Amino acid sequence: MRQRIVRGARYTAGLAVGMVHMLLALWAGSAAGGWAWRHGYTLPYDTSSSAGLSAAIVFGLLAAGAVLVLPEPWMTQVRFLVSGRPLAPCPACGVLAQPPAAHNDANTTPKEIAQ
C-alpha cells in the first residue's frame, strides 16, 4: 500500500512539473504578445486594420513555442527524476535513456527472476 502511495505521489509531482512548464509557456506568450501590442509592432507588409493584433499573436506564439521547445530535454530529465526513474546517458550511443535494471540481462524477463 505504501509503495502505491509513493508511486502516486511521484506521478502527481511529475505531472505538476509539466503543468508548471505549460503555465510558464502561457505566461511568456501572453507577455510577449502584450509587449508587441503596447509598443505597436506590426508584421512586415501587413497593412490591414488588425496589423497590431496579428503581430501580437505571432509574437506570443513564437515566445510560447520557444519556451515549450527549447528546454524540453531538461524538463524531461526533471520529470523522470521526480518520478523516480532517472535518465542516464547510454555508454554506447550517448542518448538519454533509462538504465537497465541491474538484475536483468538481455535474455531474462521479470517473471524468470527469483525473488
Show me where the domains of the chain are located.
Answer: 2-85
All residues at 6 or more sequence positions from 11 whose CB lies less than 8 Å from its CB, including other chains: 83
Q: Tell me the pTM.
A: 0.72
Residue 100's pLDDT band (cuts 50, 70, 90): low
**Cβ atoms of 68 and 21 closer than 8 Å:** yes
The pLDDT of 29-44, averaged and rounded, is: 94
Torsion over CA: 67, 69, 74, 79 (sign)? positive
- pLDDT value for 32: 96
Residue 64: pLDDT band by 50, 70, 90 thresholds? very high
Q: Tell me the C-alpha distance between 60 and 31, whole Å.
A: 7
